[in-house]
Amino acid sequence: MAYLCNVDIGGTHTDAVVIDQRGSVTEAKVSSTPDDFSRGFFNALEQGAAKRDLALDELLERTEVVSHGTTVGTNAIIEGEGVDAALVTTRGAEDVMFVMRGGAAVSKGQSIEDVLSFRDASKPDPIVERKRVYGVDERVDCMGDVVVDLNEERVRNVARELARNEVDAVAVNLLWSFLNDSHEVRIEEILEEELPDGTFLTRASDLIPKWGEYERTTATAINAYIGPSTSEYIDRINDGLGERGYDGTLLVMQSGGGVMSAEDAVREPVKTIDSGPAAGIIGCRYLSERLEHENIIAADMGGTSFDIGLLTDGEPITQPNNVINQYEYMIRNVDVDSIGSGGGSIAQVDADTGRLQVGPESAGADPGPACYGRGGTDPTVTDADLLLGFLDPDHFLGGRQHLDESKARDAMSAIGDELGMSPEEVASGVFEIVTAKMADSIRQRTINRGHDPRKFVLYAYGGAGPLHVPAIAPQLDVDTVVVPSGDTSSVWSALGVSSSDFLYRQEVSNITTAPFDPAAVTDSFRAIEDELTERLRAEGFEPDEIDVERYADLRYQAQVHQVSVPVPNGRLDESDMDTVVNRFERKYEDLYGEGAGYTESGFEMVTIRCDVSGRTTKPNLERESSEGEAIPKTETDVLWPSEGRRLATEVYEGTELGPGMTVDGPAIVRMNHTTVAIPPEDECEIDQYDNYVIDIGGE
């Protein structure tokens, strides 16, 4: 028996998932060990091994792939626990990470309610302290020409001061270095000479040679900030795996939508930030291939937030920049938007106007919904779900969390009194409102990008997703909702990592004007893809396991917006250049509306990108068909908001259902990590992967 293992390190818990070649999944969960994350890593694997009656070494010897998703880097930034890092930059550009982009930095990543309020307006804490930012005299211009030669004496003085101050990591980013990296390379050489071995060094022209100094400096600085601690624990895990019998490469999940080797993760840890949501989307891609769905809206509803990602033509939509802690940095990532609607969203009545509102404030996990009995007194979406009858107080989360219905009722009544509504009416209203808000958010993110939601399938996961998303579907005219792989939707992220390909991605800016020289463009692509392919070969991938994808970001001349389009492989000719331009114009119109483009402006190619991927071993999720029919455990009255009344609703136990069975709505399926709601008139079929496929009828 061969295995795939994935370990997810979170702030509180470390989860392990062991998948065997028959598709059977074993989960393990331990506490994270922040003083040395590798301990929790192996503890989790050990627990997973034990559940299969194996010693850890036995498991690892038979494991084909060990993969890893981490929030260590993300948490380090959010909690301000990175190292004492320094930044070396062009003199005059020292304030780039303090000015940021002005006002946009204050509002970045915030809900609209917070954007409109200045009471708590602020910029985030620095990633690199101002006194650790060193400007050196040098200058390159927009054509890559050197305007001021590198002042090496200055560099050497800086290097000596860095050594004196014992900095742990140094980021180097000069203006226009992506066009001419000679100064950055020379600075790196001098730093290597003057600084102790083991100082973490990262330079922008290597990490992300793209146009735009703020987002590029931030990416480089973040890499330095989390570099030493991330690399330390990953190295330890890597060594530990080898010692315990694993002879493969440790694969680490990237926000970009693929995995990388531990060695790469150690060098470029900035790519691990927000890898979790990306993994979920890649899991959706893997599933969509099997289910032959082309266009998916992936909806993850948890306790505090509702995360939305899109896949079109079977591929996840990526965005060039990401945001963390109000900092925007340019590492391409799977685009997942987060809005403040979750199970913990608080329902309240506005003091001045008497209006019922739901969110964006959240009760979080602590104290959590009133019904959790942890001291929360605000009514939340979860309390509403309970009062409506969707949740069983004794069987929530597989019985691990008891729900106190009286507390939910009290909390909801307090609001009900102010509105002249019964607690059930309020609960129904809360459900409807949060549904409408999520539908609006999805609409904004599909229609506004030129996509018609009616052509999409909704994939629903997260603690509250499978309950709420089937109710959102009719509002978008979406007729299919898929709850992936039944009960493992809580370790969906882990499955996602296990189903990710190995990805090397490099983006390089060099702004040229149409007509583009096909030979020069070919050479530029080849320079990147040859190197990346070489690295994949070194990882052990055969040529037929390697895929190369080319993209170019174009813009209309002197316009701001860039659009990314695929570029043909191989040696390019003039007709290929025409193809690229046509694709750009068409996609621009799709995104921004007919007549939005203005050909007369002329075109510029700004950045080229190569995604070189190596196909990894994927888990087999196919199950055997179950015998028999779905038999409900019990029946309960549920107030379905869409119907406005209580209906007798059958309740099933997820562990008693399997592939091939069908369940007709109205019905509820209880699982260890979530609850699936199948609305009246809808039908649910469990497919051979244990997915719950809900056909949205009615409307």
Partner 1 sequence: MPIENRGREEIDTSTEHTGSNVWEDFVQGYIPEDPIDIHPQLSLHTAYETDVDPVTYEVLRHRLYSINEEHGATLENVSGSPVAYFAQDFNPTILTATGEVVFQGPYIQFFSPIAELQAKWILENRSENPGIEPGDVFISNDTWVGSTHQPDVFFLAPVFREGELFCWVVNTLHQYDIGGSNAGSFCPGASNVFEEPVPIPPIKVVEGGEVREDLRQMYLRHSRLPQMVGLDFNAQVAGVNVARERINDTIDEYGAETVKGVMHEVLDDAEQKFVRKLEQIPDGTYRGRAYMDGSKTGDTGIYRGEVQIHKEGDTLTFTNENTAPDKDAINCTYAGFRTAIMSVLNPFMMSDAMWVSGGPLRHIEIETTPGTMTHAQWPSGTSNGGTVSVPFVIHLVNNAVNRMLAASENLKRNIITGQNAGGGAVAQAGIDQWGEEFGTMNLDCMSGGIGAAPHRDGVDTGGQYWAPKAPIPNMEHNEQDYPILYLYRSEVPDTGGPGERRGGAGMDYCWKPHKTEQIENVFAASGVLAPLSKGISGYPGGNGRFDVVHDSDVEERFAEREVTQDLTELEGDFERLHSKAHDVQRPDDVSVIRNGGTPGYGDPIERDPERVADDIERGLVTEAAANDIYGVVVERDGDEVAVLDDATEARRSEIRERRLAESTIGGEQ
Residues 195-214 close enough to bind partner 1 by CB under 8 A = 211-214
**Distance in Å, CB of 320 to partner 1, minimum:** 13
**Distance in Å, CB of 537 to partner 1, minimum:** 35
Interface with partner 1 in residues 168-187 (CB under 8 A): 175-176
119 belongs to the binding site for partner 1 (CB under 8 A): yes
Binding range to partner 1, per CB under 8 A, among 28-36, 96-104, 264-272, 671-679: 96-104
**Distance in Å, CB of 621 to partner 1, minimum:** 36
432 belongs to the binding site for partner 1 (CB under 8 A): yes
101 belongs to the binding site for partner 1 (CB under 8 A): yes
Interface with partner 1 in residues 10-49 (CB under 8 A): none
Q: What angle do CA 415, 421, 427 make, to 5 degrees?
A: 65
Binding range to partner 1, per CB under 8 A, among 5-13, 226-234, 444-452, 647-655: 444-452
Could you write out the DSSP letters of every residue in 450-477? T--GGG-EEEEESSSHHHHHHHHGGGGT
**Distance in Å, CB of 662 to partner 1, minimum:** 31
Residue 22: is it exposed, middle or buried by C-beta count within 10 angstroms (0-12/13-18/19+)? exposed
**Distance in Å, CB of 50 to partner 1, minimum:** 49
* DSSP E strand stretches across 546-691: 546-556, 563-567, 603-614, 634-640, 645-653, 662-664, 667-670, 675-678, 683-686
429 belongs to the binding site for partner 1 (CB under 8 A): yes
Options 13, 443, 455, 586; binder of partner 1; rule CB under 8 A = 443
Q: Which helix (H) or strand (E) holds 193?
A: helix 182-194
Site string (258-297) toward partner 1, x via CB under 8 A: ----------------------------------------
| Residue 216, SS3 per DSSP | helix
Separation between Cα atoms, residue 486 and residue 17, nearest integer Å: 15
Interface with partner 1 in residues 535-574 (CB under 8 A): 555-556, 558-561
235 belongs to the binding site for partner 1 (CB under 8 A): no
Separation between Cα atoms, residue 343 and residue 475, nearest integer Å: 20
Site string (342-381) toward partner 1, x via CB under 8 A: --------x-xx-xxxx-----------------------
Edge to edge, the sheet with strand 85-90 lists 133-136, 85-90, 169-173, 200-203
Phi, psi torsion values for 326, nearest 5 degrees: 70, -5
454 belongs to the binding site for partner 1 (CB under 8 A): no
**How do beta strands 603-614 and 634-640 pair?**
unpaired
585 belongs to the binding site for partner 1 (CB under 8 A): no
**Distance in Å, CB of 354 to partner 1, minimum:** 8
Q: Which is nearer to partner 1, 79 or 141 (CB)?
A: 141
CA pseudo-torsion sign 662, 663, 665, 668:
negative
Separation between Cα atoms, residue 162 and residue 58, nearest integer Å: 47
Binding range to partner 1, per CB under 8 A, among 30-38, 87-95, 238-246, 368-376: 87-95
Interface with partner 1 in residues 140-169 (CB under 8 A): 141-143, 147-151, 154
Extract long-range pairs of 50-57: CB within 8 Å, 24+ residues apart.
51/18, 51/26, 52/18, 52/20, 52/26, 56/244, 57/244, 57/245
626 belongs to the binding site for partner 1 (CB under 8 A): no
**Distance in Å, CB of 561 to partner 1, minimum:** 5
Give the Cβ contact number of residue 196 at 10 Å.
9
130 belongs to the binding site for partner 1 (CB under 8 A): yes
Q: Which helix (H) or strand (E) holds 172?
A: strand 169-173
Q: Which is nearer to partner 1, 117 or 655 (CB)?
A: 117
Could you write out the DSSP letters of every residue in 94-108? TTHHHHTTTHHHHHT
Buried b (16+ CB within 10 A) or exposed e, 176-194: bbbbbbbbbeebbebbeeb
511 belongs to the binding site for partner 1 (CB under 8 A): yes
What is the phi-psi region of residue 512: left when phi exceeds 0, alpha when psi lies from -120 to 50, beta otherwise?
Answer: beta
51 belongs to the binding site for partner 1 (CB under 8 A): no
Options 1, 99, 519, 520; binder of partner 1; rule CB under 8 A = 99
Q: Taking Cα atoms as reference points, which of 550, 559, 555, 610 lies closest to residue 588? A: 555
Options 5, 65, 100, 608; binder of partner 1; rule CB under 8 A = 100
**Distance in Å, CB of 7 to partner 1, minimum:** 38
Q: Which two tokens stand for residue 401?
A: 């969390």
**Distance in Å, CB of 391 to partner 1, minimum:** 21
Binding range to partner 1, per CB under 8 A, among 115-123, 361-369, 400-408, 678-686: 115-123
**Distance in Å, CB of 257 to partner 1, minimum:** 23
Task: Report which DSSP code applies to 421.
Answer: -
Phi, psi torsion values for 404, nearest 5 degrees: -100, 100
Q: Which is nearer to partner 1, 538 or 558 (CB)?
A: 558
3-state secondary structure 299-340: EEECCCCEEEEEEECCEECEECCEEECCEEECCCEECEEEEC
Q: Which is nearer to partner 1, 5 or 172 (CB)?
A: 172
**How many residues in the shown chain lie near partner 1 by CB under 8 A?**
89
Separation between Cα atoms, residue 60 and residue 268, nearest integer Å: 26
596 belongs to the binding site for partner 1 (CB under 8 A): yes
Options 185, 317, 397, 436; binder of partner 1; rule CB under 8 A = 436
Separation between Cα atoms, residue 284 and residue 292, nearest integer Å: 11
Options 12, 448, 617, 634; binder of partner 1; rule CB under 8 A = 448
Binding range to partner 1, per CB under 8 A, among 131-139, 477-485, 575-583, 613-621: 131-139
325 belongs to the binding site for partner 1 (CB under 8 A): no
